[in-house]
Amino acid sequence: MEYLLIIVSAIFVNNIVLAQFLGICPFLGVSNKLSTASGMSLAVCFVITLATVVTYLINKFLLVPFGLTFLQTIAFILVIAALVQMVEIVLKKVSPALYQALGIFLPLITTNCAVLGVAINVVTKEFTFGGEAHMLNLGEATVYAFATSLGYGLAMVLFAGIREHLSLNEVPKAFKGLPIALISVGIMALAFLGFSGIV
């Protein structure tokens, strides 16, 4: 039951893009076409889940026991950068087809603040899912990270669909490009506000 709450909350109520403002740059950058948007979502999904698990373990078994938590920011960003590199190399060898699909997005993910944001959130913040506030354990953290990245994918794919339609419409010159896109995201976020109060 609690895992279900985590999933619903992370995808809809606290959507990472529309409510938490993480990962906006790639969200605006690659959402021009539905195909690139879904490719990027897949890559992000993969990296967020993996990075959260790895940084959670590093935090628990390395940084905390040795009193090094002030190094969190530096350690996490290095781990994420190394992880992205490794995923790239492994994918290239194991599944060339998937690498072809995700390849160009992977290097961009290092500087996607959603990855670092979720990793830091999971180890520093207390969450309340139905019960009382508590730090997440490894299982909950993994589910939370995966659900959050699904929420990222959902927002991205929905927005790419809207943007494909937008590009066919006549908009006033000053609104062209990003301004109209931002206003559309605003309206989307307004719609997602309707989910608040579910969990």
Sites of contact with other proteins (CB under 8 A): 18-25, 28, 70-74, 77-78, 81, 110-113, 116-117, 120-121, 125, 174-175, 178-183, 185-187, 189-190, 192-193
Which residues, 6 or more positions from 148, have their beta carbon under 8 angstroms from its beta carbon?
Answer: 10, 11, 16, 48, 114, 118
In whole angstroms, how close is the CB of 31 to other proteins at the nearest point? 13
In single-letter form, the type of residue at position 84 comes to: V
Residue number with CB closer to other proteins (57 or 68): 68
Q: How far is the CB of 50 from other proteins (least distance, A)?
A: 17
**CA 170 remoteness from chain centre:** 32
Structure tokens at 71: 């190094």
Q: Which helix (H) or strand (E) holds 64?
A: none
- CB-wise, 3 or 180, nearer to other proteins? 180
On whether the CB atoms of residues 136 and 40 are closer than 8 A, the answer is no
To other proteins, the closest distance from the beta carbon of 67 in angstroms equals: 14
Residue whose CB is less far from other proteins, 34 or 113: 113
Nearest distance from C-beta of residue 114 to other proteins, angstroms? 9
Closer by beta carbon to other proteins, 78 or else 135: 78
The answer to whether the beta carbons of residues 88 and 109 sit under 8 Å apart is no
107 sits in the region (left: phi over 0; alpha: psi -120 to 50; else beta) called alpha
Please, what is the minimum distance in Å from the beta carbon of residue 107 to other proteins? 9
- Pick 165 or 173: Cβ nearer other proteins: 173
